[in-house]
Structure 1
Amino acid sequence: MLSAVEAMLDPSMLALSLWLIGVSIEGELQPPYLILAVIVFSITFPGTSRLQFSLKRLVFDVLYSWFWVMTLLLLLGIATGYVHEFSHQALVAWLWLAPLSQIGAHLVLRAAAPTLLALQGPPQRAIIVGLNDQGAALAGRIHKARYSKIALSGFFDDRSPDRLSRAEDSPLLGRLHELPGFVKTQRIQFIYLSLPMASQPRILHVLDELKDTTASIYFVPDMFVTDLIQGRSGTVCGTPVISVCESPFTGSNGFIKRASDIVLSLLILALISPLLLLVALAVKLDSPGPVIFKQRRYGLDGEEILVYKFRSMRVCEDGETIRQASREDSRITRVGAFLRKSSLDELPQFINVLQGRMSIVGPRPHAVAHNETYRNLIKGYMIRHKVKPGITGWAQVNGYRGETRTLDKMQARIDHDLDYLRNWSLKLDLHIILKT
């Protein structure tokens, strides 16, 4: 949330301050001011993150950036003659008001940051693998970060205590073989690997052991291994890191994904509402039982969610062992057979999308019992839970939908799900929706 606000902050303040000056001096918002606002928004978006800056550095950085933006705009305005569309008084006023409005907005954001962080829920738990100098430095930066959502639990390392670096307020939690169990039981969300390049076999072993978790994994450079899910670089409290296993829906991507889900699901629900009523009536008349079947599935980060479907069977199984439905399954009702063949039984899940439990496009959610089986058979199976499950997905539009009779078919489905995580874009989502 803070990243999204910061991305919009500087461009918005520059545009709004220009509009304010245009209205106050010209009496109305004239077209040249609108056009210039669009131009300045375009060249300054996304804004710079300055929450961790000192006040002195904040002021200097804003003034420095504004100097170059204003210089560029003036040169373009003089070269094209467009500068004559504005009064001299308006340009001088904007020259001073724009950076002042930016500085003021950043100060307001700092005051509101604790509230915004609280709205995002409890802190996200993290551990560091490798109590060396770079690991200790990362821990120090996490503890000193004023607006971080990361709560560092401690370190894991196999070396003897006399070879370990010192890290204040971060205890040694155990050895590497204890790491997977700790991550699962304590619901760790971030893992930072601070191991030297010479430890490549140990790194690969740790990664292999962590494939059954939903934690986001990052390297603290310098190192590189193949088979990365994203391989994107970034920073954690000022320390450079490389993602190994991370959700693609972070920052602005997360906002775009959620906004598209809400808009599209509302539009689709409005269009199919008569069909929903007809299907509900058919299910009720065909066999006794509830219209909507609720089943436990794994959602984002492996958390259990309730998924809605139109009931297509005479039973509502949701236990520890669930037999996957087959074509000639005697449990399926007459109406249920048609609903399953046409996928109309999935339509209530658009309500799950509005609730925030699911997305329109993503890996299909499996029953909890099936998840517990396949997570032990397919390496990397749980990585698909780094994103919200979807009503449809890349695997489904490529032929891997419905019953999976063999392990090879489930492996192919998982491979397509991971391919979706690597290559996500809004364009790909729309393509999958249209193919569905």
Structure 2
Amino acid sequence: MVKIYRFSGLRPGRQDAPKIAAVPYDVVTADEAAEIIENNPLSFLKVSRTDAVLRDIPSDDERIYTAARDAFREMEEEGSLKRDESPSLYLYRVKQGGSLYLGLVACMDVDDYVSDVIKKHEHTRYDKERDRTRHIAATNANTGLVVILYPDEGDIFGYIESILPEGEPEAVVKTEQGNVHELFRITDTVRLAHIEDLFSRVPASYIADGHHRAKSAVLVAEERRKNGTYTPEDGRFMAILFAHNRVRIHGYSRLVTDLGDYTPESFLAALQERFEVRPYGEIDDTVFRVPPLRDAAGVHVFHMYLGGAWYECTCPVENPDDLIGSLDVSVLQKQVLEGMLGITDPRGDPRLQYLGGARPLADLEERVDSGEFIVAFSMQPVSVGTVMEIADDGMVMPPKSTWFEPKLLSGLVIHTLGEGEQK
């Protein structure tokens, strides 16, 4: 069964929320985060991306995490963040274009992660896992949300939607893109107990986004159990739960720094021995994905940007019953990244970087055209059903196979751990 917990959130008031709320730490570069902080010193990125402020210090230096802890404490001491007087659950609503998303913010159990009641579909990357583990330990808090899906036939979502408060939200933030984020607090004990009971009947849940945040929370809890500072709050991490049929998935792009022994011309020629490669022509680089030129049923398809031009690469799916092997990201990894470029560790090879699927294609073009990367690959999305089926079978997808929406802001509500680790 799925266990959820109330918590006394630390959060900004209505007036400060639009200034403090920030994009997740992992959707912006250090340069982008630095610019945001410079224009808005109250941005929560000064806590979640302290490396963007201390640019003359290596990003893995302990001083980065000490500075994050100090910045977080300062916000609480100044009163920018205040703690709710009683444990609550929170409703988080996002109005994005013509879509409306509604999720429940609660704490979840690290032991459920370990026992696979909370199912995973991706391995974590070592560098990001280490970074967030150190960040959670230093700040003594879950500063970002783990996105969790739960299978729902309408009972849970219907009830959650029905109790959405009609009054003014606890926080309202409108982003530059025009998206509206709203946070509501649920305090009625009868409603809280009913929500907890509804989730207790759900056999399992699924991490959609935030694998690194969840795994890092588990590692912090394990370390505190070992050193004797563990408290019940250390065994919980903050998450937002969405009904499985009320989210959206994008692909996750890949960028590679070099072609090894290949030139762009010889790489393209070698690629044509493995795939049908077609010049794509002009694209709309303001959108998030390249529409396939042909029906993608029964074929792998991905798009490549190389030498200032886009190409569509396709090949037949050899075994549709192989859930992992039939993924486009799997054939790209096996045939191209590993088979041609020698990138055998997609979790840790510095030659390979990722860009979230909700970034315009122009971002991929810019990073290749600038010379920072030599080639980019844009992927098609997979279905939520495929993700859940893979997790149910105990398998994992290649790293960064899915980009889920909505993306939630950091700093609107925070769960703090026990007091034993603070220094």
The question of a shared fold, defined as TM-score above 0.5 by the shorter chain, is answered with no
Q: Which has the higher helix share?
A: 1
Q: Give the TM-score of the pair, scaled to structure 2.
A: 0.28
Q: Give the TM-score of the pair, scaled to structure 1.
A: 0.27
User: Which is greater in Rg?
Assistant: 1
Q: Which has the higher contact order (CA 8 A, sep 6+)?
A: 2
Q: Which has the higher strand share?
A: 2
